[in-house]
Homo-oligomer: A and B are copies of this chain.
Amino acid sequence: MDIEGNTGLQLRSLIKKSGELEISLVNVATPEPAENEVVVRVQAAPINPSDLGLLVGAADMTTAKASGTPALPVITAAVPEAGMRAMSGRIDESMPVGNEGAGVIIRTGSSEAARALMGRTVAVIGGAMYSQYRTMKIAECLPLPEGITPAEGASCFVNPLTSLGMVETMRREGHKALVHTAAASNLGQMLNKICLKDGIGLVNIVRSAEQAELLRTIGAKHIVDSTAPSFVDDLTAALIETGATLAFYAIGGGKLAGQILSCMEAAINKTAKVYSRYGSNVHKQVYIYGGLDPRPIELVRSFGMMWGVGGWLLFPFLQKIGAADGARLRARVVAELKTTFASRYTQVVSLQEALQLSHIAVYNKRATGEKYLINPNKGA
């Protein structure tokens, strides 16, 4: 049969028991859409930090080698023994990659709701988006308004819903302003746009003068550089100004989470009247939403007893707030897709190009400002 999207290439990541990572492209059949399903021709899927965790896993990419053919390239790399333990759950399983993306519906199931979507551009979250074609439930598709391209709609979920989720968490847990680390990232810039629009205080913690400058150009008001000698004083001053008692911490390890809590406590105590040996009576919270830094978290307790540190993940958060509030957040993303939630990409690559060592070296750095978009149908 010669139906478009009958089969298509799909990117796979495999970690073998022998300690080797293999990234490859495989040809897979596209499942026929059931009654309430559609087939999406994927034309844009971003490489987010959360995708890299699955794509390269614990592999040491300085050992990466290219083989295969131009049409079906293969990348292999060694996984250090220490890293293999964390990989135990996925050993010898060929895993598709790509949390989110966008494309055009080219075939539909028999239901009226499915047929109504024929030809529409939709954003999709559901994994395996580094594929040429994906059969999806219609409930997993977010139809985009006329005039939005797949590239513009490719990042509708992870960064927009994470940044909106941070603001929503702030409101639900009774805080009035926010702290964000790795603040110059794509996500951090988005969070600045939301907070500026909604009039919410946001303290941006960056790691260089360049990152501070980047945030200044988009209008960020409170920027502190954690590499500056005056960091603790700068952060405390910004916390006094904003009243922020909730922080989202991208990196995970080290002493920063505890430092943020200590500076919050110091800021609160600037206005405290009565001595309490338990510290202030204001709850201070740090949520860790990434794990780039594998070092232990070290909390030097100088922030009283009203505090919490914990993990924060988008999907459990969306589950907690329920379908109606989730739909409200998604509607805002679509409405502001060309403004607040616009993503910028530095490269658009095909599946084959995504498996070139020169590109991997760039996107795997996870550097602020570098962002890749895969178009699985580029040149196809």
Contacts and interface: CB of A to CB of B under 8 A. Distances in A.
Contact of A93 (B252, B275, B298, B309): B275
A311 interface: yes
Interface string A94-114: 000000000000000000000
Contact of A308 (B54, B302, B310): B310
A278 B308 contact: no
Interface string A308-340: 111111001000000000000000000000000
Contacts of A296: 258, 298-301
A90 interface: yes
Nearest to A298: B296
A362 interface: no
Interface in A36-60: 53-54, 57
A217 interface: no
Contact of A54 (B57, B89, B277, B298): B277
Contacts of A285: 310
Nearest to A90: B275
A357 interface: no
A29 interface: no
A148 interface: no
A304 interface: yes
Specify which of A54, A93, A306 lies most central, judged by the most chain B CB atoms within 10 Å of its CB: A306
A19 interface: no
Contact of A316 (B258, B281, B288): B281
Interface in A164-194: none
A299 B308 CA distance: 13
Contacts of A54: 277
A275 B93 CA distance: 10
Contacts of A278: 313
Nearest to A91: B275
A305 B311 contact: yes
A48 to B, nearest CB: 13
Contacts of A253: 301
Given A275-B93, A277-B54, A310 B311 contact: no
A214 interface: no
A307 interface: yes
A192 to B, nearest CB: 24
A304 B299 contact: no
A54 B277 CA distance: 7
B301 A299 contact: no
Interface string A129-159: 0000000000000000000000000000000
Q: Which 4 A-B pairs have the closest CB atoms?
A: A308-B310, A89-B275, A305-B311, A297-B299
8 contacts: A86-B277, A258-B296, A281-B316, A288-B305, A297-B299, A298-B298, A299-B309, A308-B308
